[in-house]
Amino acid sequence: MKKIIYVLGLVLLVSLFAALYAYATSFQVRNVEAIYSDDVEIYMEQDEMEVFVRKLESLKQYGTVATHNTDYIKNIVLNMKYGDPVSFELGLDNNYATLTIKDIRDNMIYLVDDELVEWIYMHPSFDDFYTYKEPKRHDVSVNNMVMTSSLVDYHYTLADAMWYEVIVDETKDQVITITDPQLNLSVVSDGQVLLRVFKGDEEIYQGDIEGFEVPELNGAYKVSITSAWKEMLYYGTEETSFTLEVNYPPVFTANRTSMYQGEYIVVSAENLDGDLSVSDNYMPGLFFQASGDGHQLFIPSTYYTTPGEYTINYGYESFTFEVLERDFNAQYLTVSKSTESSTRTDDAYKQYNENYKPALLETTYYPETYPNEFVLPVKGRLTTEFGVRRYVNEELTSYRHNGIDIANDEGTEVVATAKGKVALAMELILTGNTIVIDHGNGLFSSYLHLYDMEVEEGDIVETGQLIGSVGSTGFSTGPHLHFSVSFYRMYLAPGYFIYDQPVTYDNYEDLFQ
């Protein structure tokens, strides 16, 4: 009897210990020591852990599916205080509407469709699921230099359907200087890339990297490279900007290296940062003036220029040219004593010196470039060439003829040789109705002895625009136009501007056709 009681007691004791062990090692909140996600411990407050574990305890309340069929799988392991760890799989989806949990113990997959879905997606412990929370970035390098000046504006959404913003302001002044038209621009980006280039406030390029051409002109350019991303769960941009300093060395080109008296030479300069003075043994006051996208040096000559070789220096290099002698004809005029006495007076010369000459001293018209189109103001018979020595009533005058005389009927229309601003429109005793047009950069044209004038001082006239008509006012022997072109008050042969050759008695009929 005692033996039976002993055996029964031993069985009861073993059963009790077995029950106690089963209770102690069972999957319950009190037995969970730590939770790991992909071998990284998840830190939860006690109440949060209880909510999570109780949901895992009651998975059988949910329906089951055959597979996760989700975008992302996380392994969850619950380390127990007593007993073996318990493992689960979380199936997460980027639509945030689906959550599946697989219980590794029975390999059943449960489809969760209650508040646990948002709780899991929004819990900081599962934050690494949102791989897109970090802003999308690009890498930009210019001539092997990494560009670090950027501004990031990034937005993303989470399971709570709220949008969050990330601003990363790393803007700074970065300058890339080039002295030749080589620019190695590299952009590594999985977004849509847009390149924009500005010169001051003007946008001069917008497009892709491949279509960009390095600017041809010196100066500072702002370069902006923007990558843009737009997906269902995020969108944003990163802009990298820098200043491109284009500093090409100057390049000089002359249209000729010799000229006849009355002709001119133009030296064009690219990549000059400003007006450039000239030192020389030729004439004072020469300098490179802005013209279009470059600069130009106008080197004039006239009938008084001494033939020979000259050298001018403009700092970067020197330029040697030759002035060639030209034969000028003589002209003999007979003027009535009444005309001469009424027009060649002290008052006439005083008026001429006070009005006509000052009009040629200062330009007030500033075109972007030198005029590149000149036309003949009026057709007719050439009666006086440029540069002739003149005898009036058999007496040699102290001056040369500074233009060309074209005879035609009184009232024949006269047009502007090139676009410019009327610097003088006035009746003078000596030259009659007189018009001076300022073409900018020191170039002037003059029209004397007009019958009438169709413009006023300050008017802007276009090439070929009517300005007056042929007359015989002032010191004149008959209806004609006296037409001259000057660099300030240094007169040049007009034919070189219109025909690239002088107008002479021998060629004018062919040229005027």
- Domain limits of the chain? 2-129, 139-246, 251-324, 330-511
User: Are domains 2-129 and 251-324 of this chain identical in fold?
Assistant: yes
How, if at all, do strands 258-260 and 318-324 pair? parallel
* Tens digit of each residue's pLDDT, the chain (513 residues): 666 666 555 555 545 444 444 444 445 667 888 899 888 888 888 888 888 888 888 899 999 999 998 888 999 999 998 889 999 999 988 888 789 999 999 999 999 988 888 888 888 878 888 889 999 999 999 999 999 999 999 999 988 889 999 999 999 999 999 999 989 999 999 999 999 999 999 999 999 999 999 998 889 999 999 999 999 899 999 999 999 999 999 999 999 999 999 999 999 998 887 777 787 778 888 888 888 788 889 999 999 999 999 999 888 888 999 999 998 888 777 767 666 666 678 888 899 999 999 999 988 998 877 777 899 999 999 999 999 987 777 676 767 899 999 999 999 999 999 999 999 999 999 999 999 999 998 999 999 999 999 999 999 999 999 999 999 999 888 999 999 999 999 999 999 999 999 999 999 999 998
CATH code for the structural domain at 2-129? 2.60.40
> What is 251-324's CATH superfamily?
Macroglobulin (MG2) domain (2.60.40.1930)
Q: What's the CA dihedral at 11, 15, 17, 20 to 10 degrees?
A: -160
pTM of the model: 0.65
What number does CATH give the domain 330-511? 2.70.70.10
Q: Is the separation of the CB atoms in 330 and 388 below 8 Å?
A: yes
Q: Is 16 exposed, middle or buried (0-12, 13-18, 19+ CB in 10 A)?
A: exposed
List Cα–Cα distances, 376 to 177, 202, 484, in angstroms: 48, 39, 11
Of 46, 158, 162, nearest to 92 by C-alpha is 158
- The type of residue at 461 is V
Distance (Å, rounded) from C-alpha 152 to C-alpha 197? 19
